[in-house]
Amino acid sequence: MKFDDWFIAQFRDVLSEPLAETDGISDSEIDAALNGSSVPSSVRAYFRVAGKHWLNTNYNEWLPIGAFETIGDYTILMDENQCVVRWGFRAADMTADDPIVYQAQTGSDPLEWYSEEKPFSQFIIAMWRWLLTGDVPA
């Protein structure tokens, strides 16, 4: 799967408008922010085409690409708007193309993680579709 094309098509479908070139982050900016770290191919592609899009900070909020936080066996990428839930990947999956997303509720210490049962490319679009249309992801 070519993730860039997938995200461009999905955003066009969800938003009924195309992504603008200014919605993305260049590979050189991504590389500088990562400072030698790696992210899944699907995450890199998402940031490349939609990393600066208003959806990323309007409700649930992405951590900046260079500020992903690893706690225990999980790398956290996004916080729920009320800071009740965090989403991330198993740290061991950070080199995978399109890893499964996990959710943890912030009230437990240590965090207890549960699979969202969707790879990142499907999870992020399902989240935005729900936010914008109220459609419950399948």
In a domain, 104, yes or no: yes
CATH number at residue 22: 3.40.1580
> pTM surpassing 0.75?
yes
Q: Give me the number of domains the chain comprises.
A: 1
The residue segments making up the domain with residue 55 are: 3-133
Residue 138 lies in a domain: no
Q: Over the chain, what HEC string results?
A: CCHHHHHHHHHHHHHCCCCCHHHCCCHHHHHHHHCCCCCCHHHHHHHHHHCCCCHHHHCCEECCHHHCEEECCEEEEEECCCCCEEEEEEHHHCCCCCCEEEEEECCCCCCCEEEEEEEHHHHHHHHHHHHHHCCCCC
Q: What is the mean pLDDT of each run of 10 residues along the chain (138 residues)?
A: 88 85 94 90 94 83 87 91 89 94 88 94 87 71
